[in-house]
Structure 1
Amino acid sequence: MELFKNWCASKKEEEGRKRYWKLAEKPGGRDAIRDSLAETMRSHYDRLDRIAEDVARLGFEKAATILRAVLPKTAKARSGELGEILATELVEEEVGLRVPVRRLRYKDGREMALRGDDFIGAGYGQNDDKLWLLKGEAKSNKVLGKTTIVNARKVLCRDDSRCTPESLLFVANRLLESEDEDDVALGRTIRDEVGCKSLPPGRIDHMLFTMSGNAPPAALKEDFDAASKNRDHYVVNLRIDDHQEFIAEMYEEAQSLGDE
């Protein structure tokens, strides 16, 4: 699904291995992707086939009750989690790596924040079969400011700028539980990386994804300019003018399964 292509206009700047993307809603863009985004959000909290089975067994109303039990209710949790969801979708649509595990399915409390890296992309190099990773940090604020950006970059630079071992193991172990042979192979490779730490910096991309109601502040461009040149960096802002209203609207859409 080309979510962002149908939804947003983009301005992209590139400098070596660094990319600065500014996204904003196109006229009519939200209406074009509203239903598909709601379905995408559901898929981050539960498998769509399980939701369909709930509907078949219990009907729409009771199936929606099950879904609502895992969706966050507070504005803060919804904001952060929708940021992670959109960042994940952008990686898969624009970067060409998979985010192979939907972390939000594994929360132990609907308002609890998950620890570790916000999202991890994984795959193989275009010209070889060696592992390639992306370490991501997502921030969603009505007003995005310098402090948030600086703190997010500090998180990306932790652990010698590598994905945290606990985050990699979480992804690897979920893949090893899969019945898909390719998933299992990727999980084994990621698990090996935790032990060997053999992946060079140039094969660990970074993405700082921000969603905000204000235009990207100067601090975001400064972050892009200061980013190192030894890896692919993606510095992204998605501007949603009615930031908080949009988040509330989309969670209402996501938890409504309709009646047909």
Structure 2
Amino acid sequence: MAQFNNWCLSLDEHVGQHVRRVITGQAASLDVGIQATAAIIPGHYASEEQVARALARLGKPAAAALIQSKLPTTKQIRSGDLGEIYATEWIDAHSGGYRAPIKRLRWKDHRNMAMRGDDVIGILQDPQTQRLHFLKTEAKSRATLTAQVLTEARAGLDKDGGKPSAHALSFISARLLEMGSLPLADAIDDAILKHGIPVQSVRHLLFTFSGNAPDALLTNALQAYPGPINQWGVGLRVEGHATFIGAIYDRVITNGNNT
């Protein structure tokens, strides 16, 4: 996990019926954040089984090379990937039961290309009915967050009537089948093909990772939303955004070579 509580302070505020959370990296603890994030990044780009197999067959240098070959090399793609990684980690640890069932970046077309489609979809399964609830997520990472960026995120969240797209859900289902997670894959297929997805079973997460304060921007974005879907606005702020990202990816490479 990204262990946000070990290097950040969080502050929640209600904005109408919605919730805004600002998570601020503490200057004295940023190295904790760098280490915690670097530890989880390899698993977002390659499965544990793939890395273990490379290690067993070819040794430590090859396993390290495998991970490094999957890491983006451009600042822009690293920033975008890390925004998605942090959104995924926040969902798994802090969303009250939703889980991101796959780590989407493992299926990138190229390490220096962004993924297409819905950024992240969190899923919560009702233990009584087995029906699914969805957390449709747009993640944005910028050194300087602007209202225009949040407008772009809102457009993504509002696509397909505010619901996760059938294409994105089918992608998740197919990957779960490959991983042997048949019950959840079947539940997703049932939601797409049998039951449909009522808007009441959807929630939105607007997740930002930026160097500047997201407080007012997120508040304005939540206040401006006129629709029926409950919203979370979560902003992770780290001063020295670009330097922080560079240090994380450098640490991943160092860790791989030293393991």
Give the TM-score normalised by the residue count of structure 2. 0.91
Amino acid at match of 1:243: H
Q: Secondary structure at the match of 2:173?
A: helix
Aligned to 2:80: 80
- Whether contact under 8 Å (1:18, 1:229) holds in the other structure is no
Contact 1:145 1:217 in 2 (8 A): no
Matches of 1:49 and 1:33 in 2, distance apart?
Answer: 26
Alignment of 1:73-112 (within 5 A): 73-95=73-95, 96-112=97-113
Question: Residues 170 and 244 (structure 1 numbering): CA distance in 2 closer, same or farther, change over 3 Å?
Answer: same
The residue aligned with 1:160 is: 161
Q: Is the 8 A contact 1:209 1:237 kept in 2?
A: yes
Aligned mate of 2:247, from 225, 246, 249: 249
Q: Which amino acid aligns with 1:255?
A: I
Q: Distance in 1 between matches of 2:245 and 2:39?
A: 14
Distance 1:2 1:247 in 2: 14
Superposed CA deviations along residues 62-115 of structure 1, whole A, max 9, x for unmatched, are 321111111110001100000000000001111121100111111121112111
Classify 1:84/1:58 alpha carbon distance in 2 versus 1 (closer, same or farther; 3 Å): same
Residue type matched to 1:259 in 2? N
Q: Equivalent residue for 2:115?
A: 114
Q: Report 1:103-252 matches (<5 A).
A: 103-125=104-126, 128-179=129-180, 183-196=181-194, 198-216=196-214, 218-228=216-226, 230-252=228-250
Residue 242 (structure 2) pairs with residue 259 (structure 1): no
With over 3 angstroms needed to count, the CA separation of the structure-2 counterparts of 1:98 and 1:217, relative to structure 1, is closer
Aligned amino acid, residue 106 of structure 1: W
Shifted more, 135-144 versus 189-198: the winner is 189-198
Q: Is the 8 A contact 1:6 1:32 kept in 2?
A: yes
- In the alignment, the residues of structure 1 paired with residue 258 and residue 59 of structure 2 have an alpha-carbon distance, to the nearest angstrom, of 8
Counterpart CA distance in 2 for 1:238 and 1:63 is 31
What runs of 5+ residues in structure 1 fail to find an aligned partner? none
8 Å CA contact 1:172, 1:190 repeated in 2: yes
Distance 1:93 1:166 in 2: 26
Q: CA deviation at 1:127?
A: 6.0
| TM-score in terms of structure 1 length | 0.91
Aligned residues: 257
CA distance in 1 between counterparts of 2:155 and 2:195 reads 20
Distance change (3 Å), C-alpha of 1:127 and 1:11: farther
- In structure 2, relative to structure 1, the CA distance for the partners of 1:162 and 1:16 (3 Å cut) is same
Q: In 2, are the aligned partners of 1:16 and 1:229 still within 8 Å (CA)?
A: no
Q: What amino acid sits opposite 1:195 in the alignment?
A: L
1:258–1:37 CA distance, 2 compared to 1 (3 A): same
**Distance (whole Å) between structure 2 residues aligned to residue 85 and residue 139 of structure 1:** 11
- What is the CA–CA distance in structure 1 between the aligned matches of 2:55 and 2:25, rounded to whole Å? 33
Query: Contact 1:9–1:24 at 8 Å: present in 2 too?
Result: yes
What is the SS of the residue equivalent to 1:79? helix
| Cα 1:217/1:17, change in 2 over 3 Å | closer
SS at match of 1:158: helix
